[in-house]
A = this chain, B = another copy of it.
Amino acid sequence: MESRNVTQHISQQFNDELETLREQVMAMGGLVEKQLTDAIETLVDMDDARAQKIIQQDTLVNALEVKIDEECTKVLAKRQPAAGDLRLIIAIIKTVTDLERIGDEAEKIARMTLEIFQQEPLIPLHKKHLKDIKNLGKHVIEMVRNSLDAFARMDVDAAMQVAKQEQDVDEQYAALSRQLITYMMEDPRSISSILDVTWVARALERVGDHANNIAEYTIYLVKGKDVRHTSFEKMEQVARGGQ
């Protein structure tokens, strides 16, 4: 009886550790989502103090990546998890890498804002471009939020939604890119400022990729199948299938 209590106790401790890890991933996700939202608002408002803050805060994101990774390694060494628990740890290790890279893209957007701000004379981005970036940003932030929700709730349907959104974001990005090239050709004086918009759009498209990766880890976590590098249809098949 006592030994059973000990087993339960250990298993309860283990559960707590896994729960703490999940909470840390969600906290990191929340911070990254905020960094990205702020970065886009900062670009639109040309707020250089806020851009500085985003750049500084990227070290917090980096520190969380290192910390969570370290704790995952500790849990692996101490608990020797199997099956679903092992998949959870692997999914967490991979998710934090993508979250850190989303943080990097937010930081890049903030650096771009500072660069634009420091130009003499200051030529803020054209309203039309800002509207396009805000639009793309809105979709991408939604993808990040949905991918984190899917991960938190281990919700395969929500993960599939993210994969679907990625197709839309890719199309939106491709259309915007073509448009920007046309603008540059029509008005060569705008090349430098439109290139800045192009880099921001590219950064957002990458964020969408990372959110999609996180959605794929959720499917791996729940279904035990690696759906990276498969078609959308194949993903759907795995998502709908039994475990």
A195 at the interface (CB under 8 A from B): yes
Tell me if B65 and A228 are in contact (CB < 8 A): yes
A49 at the interface (CB under 8 A from B): no
A63's nearest neighbour on chain B, judged by CB, is B229
Q: What are the residues of chain B within 8 A of A65 when measuring CB–CB?
A: 228-229
Q: Given B87, B93, B184, B228, which contacts A62 in the complex, CB threshold below 8 Å?
A: B228
Tell me if B59 and A73 are in contact (CB < 8 A): no
Q: What are the residues of chain B within 8 A of A83 when measuring CB–CB?
A: 77
Tell me if B86 and A229 are in contact (CB < 8 A): no
In the docked arrangement, what's the CA distance between A63 and B94, Å?
Answer: 17
Q: What are the residues of chain B within 8 A of A228 when measuring CB–CB?
A: 62, 65-66
Q: How many copies of the shown chain assemble into the complex?
A: 2
Q: What are the residues of chain B within 8 A of A192 when measuring CB–CB?
A: 181, 185
Q: What are the residues of chain B within 8 A of A188 when measuring CB–CB?
A: 184-185, 188, 191
A52 at the interface (CB under 8 A from B): no
Q: What are the residues of chain B within 8 A of A226 when measuring CB–CB?
A: 66, 69-70
Tell me if A86 and B76 are in contact (CB < 8 A): yes
Distance in angstroms from A86 CB to nearest chain B CB is: 6
Interface of A is mostly: helix
A80 at the interface (CB under 8 A from B): yes
A82 at the interface (CB under 8 A from B): yes
Q: What are the residues of chain B within 8 A of A73 when measuring CB–CB?
A: 86-87, 90
Q: What are the residues of chain B within 8 A of A59 when measuring CB–CB?
A: 229
A97 at the interface (CB under 8 A from B): yes
In the docked arrangement, what's the CA distance between A229 and B83, Å?
Answer: 32
Tell me the A116-130 residues at the B interface (CB within 8 Å): none
A177's nearest neighbour on chain B, judged by CB, is B195
Tell me if A86 and B77 are in contact (CB < 8 A): yes
Residues of A that sit less than 8 Å from B by CB = 59, 62-63, 65-66, 69-70, 73, 76-77, 80, 82-83, 86-87, 90, 93-94, 97, 181, 184-185, 188, 191-192, 195, 226, 228-229
Q: List 11 A-B contacts (CB under 8 A).
A: A62-B228, A62-B229, A63-B229, A66-B228, A69-B90, A73-B86, A76-B76, A76-B86, A181-B191, A184-B191, A188-B191
